[in-house]
Chain A
Amino acid sequence: MRLRVQFYSYFKELAGCAETEELLPAGGTVEGLLQQLYGRFPRLARLERSTLVAVGVEYQGRDYVLKDGDEVSLFPPVQGG
């Protein structure tokens, strides 16, 4: 599966980019994607517990099953208002 991954807030600085593409085996979950990403972006691994994940425009949990073409966004706790 080909996934588009976007980083927001200081995750962009930690990753060194605002977006990237990641290939994941079919049936892979958000958790599987994260572990793969942490291999490429180890500075994000330290923030795993506070990392929020969205697929499209909806929050999803770690066991969400991804589909080819999904747009996955990773970011720290939000601070609006």
Chain B
Amino acid sequence: MGSKILLNIPEKDMERIETLVKAGEYATKSEFMRFAVKQLLYGEERIGRLEAATSKVQKQTKDRKQIEVEIEEAKADTRRTLSKGRA
């Protein structure tokens, strides 16, 4: 059994939730809210993992110039690939 919370939801949002429930997208308003919470928590978890991974890459960055050079080289590769594809 989960915990219960009382929410104040703007009228407009509640109307949209009710429309989705009536359309059969969600069995109940509670199911909609559970799904919304899960989605948000998943997003938070994903961002957390991403921030940890980016800090490894960011530690290797000396300055902006390094990034510009890396991007220019990668774009040059793309130009070559696209030119070959066209030939």
Partners in one complex: no
A-side residues, CB < 8 A to B, are none
B-side residues, CB < 8 A to A, are none
